[in-house]
Structure 1
Amino acid sequence: MSRLMRQWIADALHLLRVAADFATVYASFYLGYQLYFLGKPHEWSVWLPELRPDLYYLPVERNHFLTVALGVSLMTVLVYAAKGLYRDDTSVLHVREYRSVMSGFVIACLLFLALYYIYFAYLGPRIREKLFSRRIFSYASAFSLAGILAVRVTINRIQHRLHRRGIGARRVLIYGAGATGRLVARRLSEFPAFSLLAAGFVDDDETLAGTTVVFDQARGYSLPVLGTGSHLEELMRSAGATEVLVALPSKTPEQNMQVMNYCRGRGIRFRFVPHVYEMAVQRTVMQDLAGIPVIALREPSHRYVYLFCKRLADVALSAAALVVLSPLFLAIALVIRMRSPGPALFVQERVGLGGKTFRMLKFRTMYVDADPYAVTPKSQRDRRITPFGRWLRRTSLDELPQLINVLAGSMSLVGPRPEMPFIVATYDDLHRERLRVKPGITGLWQISADRRVAIHENMDYDLYYLHEQSFLLDVVILVQTVFLAFRGI
């Protein structure tokens, strides 16, 4: 596919988002208007003696409210454009995008209401309230926000399918075929929403030129090493690439500056990928100590509010789930006892918040003579797994008893998976970052394509979660987990 065609498809998707946002808000306001008066014919008229003393009732003008809908629709699109929601920029699970969608819509509504009330101030408060129903506006706003999110999820899925086929995605080269470069290639293949398609590696090691580097062992994905960095401009032209992702964390700052100057001098668009250790300390703030500049880690100002709300949600949701799912718990326990001898529950010591150990609960999926601390089964065909246990693992129903751990406070619904003590004993300082938060039943790793690989081999998922913790991210992860569980059934 030519570069012109890829750009045309990208522009078409941008226009589709703009048109979809505008149409969704307008249609939602019309729906809210109709729903409010549905089955209430006597409310189609309101008393406005201030306008016409000789008339006690005056019909509510539908066109007046639809003008309001046009204004909010236009304001929403303008605010979204200002927040960068129509640019080629995304995040894992689109969390930042959805957060901006919600905050942007609230801003658009507040701006429009402010302008509206200023413009109609001369009508007087009673007349203004009759011409503009706050209840209808509330209905319409709720429909709009839900509709925009649903439409964006749909468009994102369409974009995912197109990009997986290489349609509309920008081709990029990855400068560095080492561990970081391979990780970047794997993430680009896993998250097509980034609109980037890796065309190959570039590496300064001349012995790698012409070879093929496997970046995903589980799926057998690989990319060729096209050449060295000294020929970057020609390699990009021959590969049809528009950008280079520099993944050379082992380089010195001076060497990285040389790469930067090379790209700038030739008009090559580039981005640098930091080392995971740099990512771990990227949230820093400069402080002053009696004239001496010092750097300190910056804790989010909303952290304690978030932790409090998260604990409330953990208690409420886990308690409700335990009550609602109690018949399912009983049924699974009975089947386990009937299919294989031994207890229905499997209890294992795991390491949680602050390195403290706790007893984690699961439905037993293996035969009782299996070593509880042996290597975790990586295949459903493992002979230690019972036939019913395979189904439980595929649907993730074996994790349900951990709701008791959540209610007790040793786990959370969302967080890094708890590891066994002998694995935690091998942790370095970076790996121990996982112990700063409560372990969870589900997390980013569990809903990723890399869940087939051991979690301690995919630390970047946990680092991302530690840096980007938010209530919205937790909600998205939970929804995705439920969706994957139903797909497993």
Structure 2
Amino acid sequence: MGASESVTSRLYAETLAASGRELRATLRYLFQNTLAAIEMASDFLTCIVGILAAYFFESSLYVGRQLPYPIREAAAVSLSVSLFSVLLLHRDGAYRGSGGLLQIRETERAIRVPVQSVLIMLPFSLLLNLKFSWLDFTIALVLIPVLLILQKHAFAAVISVLRVRGRGTDRVIVYGIGETGKRVLSALSCSFRLGLYPVAMIDDNPVLDGEWMSEMGYRRRRSVPVQRGPITSALLTSCQCSTLIVVLPNLSSEQIAAAADAAIQAGSRVFFLSATELREQKWTESIDVDGLLLTPMLESFERWPYSVAKRIVDLIGASLLLVLLAPLFFLIAFFIKLDSSGSAFFVQDRVGRNGELFKMYKFRSMYKGTPQYELSPTTPFDPRITRIGRFLRKTSLDELPQLMNVFLGDMSLVGPRPEMPFIVQIYTSEQRQRLQVVPGITGLWQLSADRAFLIHENIQYDLYYIRNRGFFMDIAILIHTLFFTMRRGV
């Protein structure tokens, strides 16, 4: 098998793995957000019931008499307190799917948040002249926490049943045995709201191969088999692993990269315990599981409104620019043909999202006969560049034909630059994260002073974009690109 065939087959395998990982991420996102929406609605209704129950309890004390304020005022207060409660719970991270061994945090929130909501509502009731009595507020301060605690435990029981049946659950392998590994196993086994279900533990110590590891605690209800390492994609695939958690301390960067590469090839996401986290890696927000911080590798998941809006803007923008710039296309092609022999266009295989290969179009800026796959020139004095090519590369006009790639959906107006297959073949696990999004014509790296160096050697720009990308950031990058191009052209 030739080098190009091996690259293609590897990228194809990575594409399949990435597709499976994206499907699981989509299903996980939908499941978690559905649960969060249901829980928010349940909390909202529980608070309303608590306030109205306080109102009707007070009305029972006025036998034969009418309360000095109508039920519509009680309804207004109940809606306001319920809204404040849900907002405070959301702000406190109650709907992020975390959990704990004793569910203490949920109970603490159920007590604290209603008190805060009622205290916030008090000045509003005075300003709006609502005649909701102090007795009702006092009863509500006792009743709402009780109802919320009962509702939270009932909701947790439902989620526990769903997790046992495999709904929205990730099969987890813990890499590393010891006290820390046991703590992770115990925490995940009890924090069912996370949806991380341990199925095995792996360690490089051959003595432990075939043993069973139990969770910490006197009950020891869960135990999982131990397999011998090191981590490989075949091992993760055989265990149907969708999430790998690395807890081994003092791992070298090579060992971490090897574990991450194996997980990526198997279509699994990767979490690291904070103690094993590399300083130079770019991580997303950590998950706190009973004091254990699990930091995931950067995982791309685009919200569908952003994806749809981005594609619409790409399609409209590319179409308009192709029509408006058609005369410029013909003029550039004419000067290229006049300057040197050969086609006006240059077509080259590039690596797109999830490792998929596509044909990228550019105006030819180098002489005919120049090898098609080499590192790009870093100076305008490179002998491979033609006279008109120097001008095209300086003004970035050689990139204009990529508007056709944007129209076809291979590229976007904004995104990481696509690289050649022979470069992607030697990517590290960190650099491979660039392949999680659709490549683009312009991006943060192109606007930086580091654009004179290789793209993958300045990975921080692309990783920052992947973490923070959004519709308005894309617009901002396009605006900066316009001014950047104008400055370079003078």
Q: When the two structures are superposed, what TM-score results if normalisation uses the length of structure 2?
A: 0.44
Pair member with larger Rg: 2
Q: Which has the higher contact order (CA 8 A, sep 6+)?
A: 2
Q: TM-score, normalised by structure 1?
A: 0.44
